Amino acid sequence: MSDAVHVSVLLNEVVAALAPGPGQTIVDGTFGAGGYSRAILATGADVVAFDRDPSVSRFADEMSRATSSQGGRFRLIQARFSEMPDHLGEGAVDGVTLDLGVSSMQLDEAERGFSFMRDGPLDMRMGADGPTAADLVNGLDQVELARILYVYGEEHASRRIASFIVKRRAERPFTRTLDLASVIERALGGRKGAKTHPATRSFQGLRIAVNEELAELEAGLAAAERILKPGGRLAVVTFHSLEDRIVKTYLAERSGRTPGGSRHAPPVRKGAEPSFQLISGKAIAPSEAELAVNPRARSSKLRAAVRTDAPVWEAAA
């Protein structure tokens, strides 16, 4: 298992958006290796962290020991961030941050099966339950497999790739990441000097499907709205257009920037008062200095807002 240092993206910008301080409780909804939690604790605020990945416990244990003499200012809850209200209740915290997608720590651990650059079992699960990527690749029919690659991976050659996968799996099932990546590469005619690996979009699509990431994001945003106090702050870091579109639409609606209604979220009560106020009308991108030291930050965006004292927006009956 890799212990490579994970560099938290837009760290200074996230902390500035949350504006944490002594006496406050901030939720780190995607704990990972603890980069955001560590920076928030340094401001004097308490942190309640969430993560469904059992492998993060080693980082959480270290953080718990470091803060044990300070009244237990940190704790990890092993759960999805959509489940935050079940553990914390409504209007209970001063800030929530979500860092979406797969972490560099997960990518660097070949045994997790996220990477097309390292050979490992075709898993891709962020948690310890549910179907694996191998289950999807070997079990879905060609039409559904192509749909996942197209919708979640934004892969325009999804039908061709799905056809190659189905033809090959008839000979023997897929079990390893490099095997699948090689078939996808052949389906697309090789690399031919491409800046990104041909399997990039397909692996993204499979990972999102395996972990139900977009549905979890929608539920997580609604959960954050419930647990934030009036004046509490939400900071969300996205890494691709599907995530960013959901966050942008959600916050636009909740801040009164649109008439309501979205294909990404359930219908809401007509005439509801804005439950958020945007901190910035535009997404915040990483600086050139950050990109120079952390190229993985290149597609990241931060969107942030402040919770108003309006009631939580309920789904329409």
- CA gap 268, 45 in Å, rounded: 33
The band of 247, judged by pLDDT with boundaries at 50, 70 and 90, is very high
pLDDT reading at 6 higher than 70: no
Average pLDDT on 137-166 reads 98
pLDDT number for residue 268: 53
The band of 4, judged by pLDDT with boundaries at 50, 70 and 90, is very low
93 near 47, Cβ under 8 Å? no
84 near 227, Cβ under 8 Å? yes
- CA gap 99, 32 in Å, rounded: 9
Nearest to 217 by CA among 194, 237, 246: 246
Q: Is 42 exposed, middle or buried (0-12, 13-18, 19+ CB in 10 A)?
A: exposed
Average pLDDT on 123-132 reads 90
Average pLDDT on 274-299 reads 93
Q: Which tokens hold the place of 300?
A: 């990241």
Q: Which tokens hold the place of 146?
A: 């192509």
pLDDT number for residue 114: 80
pLDDT number for residue 206: 97
CB atoms within 10 A of CB 255: 18
pLDDT reading at 192 higher than 80: no
Taking phi over 0 as left and psi of -120 to 50 as alpha, with beta for the rest, 271 belongs to left
pLDDT number for residue 28: 97
Task: Quickly tell me which residue has 């108003």 as its tokens.
Answer: 308
Map out the domains of the chain with their CATH numbers.
Answer: 11-105+213-307 (3.40.50.150), 113-211 (1.10.150.170)
pLDDT reading at 49 higher than 90: yes
Q: Which tokens hold the place of 242?
A: 């599907």
pLDDT number for residue 104: 62
- Give the sign of the dihedral formed by CA 100, CA 104, CA 109, CA 110: positive
Instruction: List 25's β-bridge partners, or say none.
Output: 46
Average pLDDT on 56-85 reads 89
Taking phi over 0 as left and psi of -120 to 50 as alpha, with beta for the rest, 261 belongs to left
Higher confidence at residue 114 or residue 265? Answer: 114
Q: Which tokens hold the place of 21?
A: 């301080």
Q: Specify the amino acid at residue 88.
A: L
Report how many helices (DSSP H) and strands (DSSP E) the chain contains, helices first.
13, 7
Which pTM does this prediction carry? 0.89
The band of 236, judged by pLDDT with boundaries at 50, 70 and 90, is very high
Nearest to 276 by CA among 244, 248, 243, 310: 310
pLDDT number for residue 7: 73
pLDDT number for residue 107: 62
pLDDT digits (tens, 9 = 90+) for 254-286: 999 865 455 555 555 556 899 999 998 899 999
The alpha carbon of 208 is separated from its chain's Cα centroid by a whole number of angstroms, namely 9
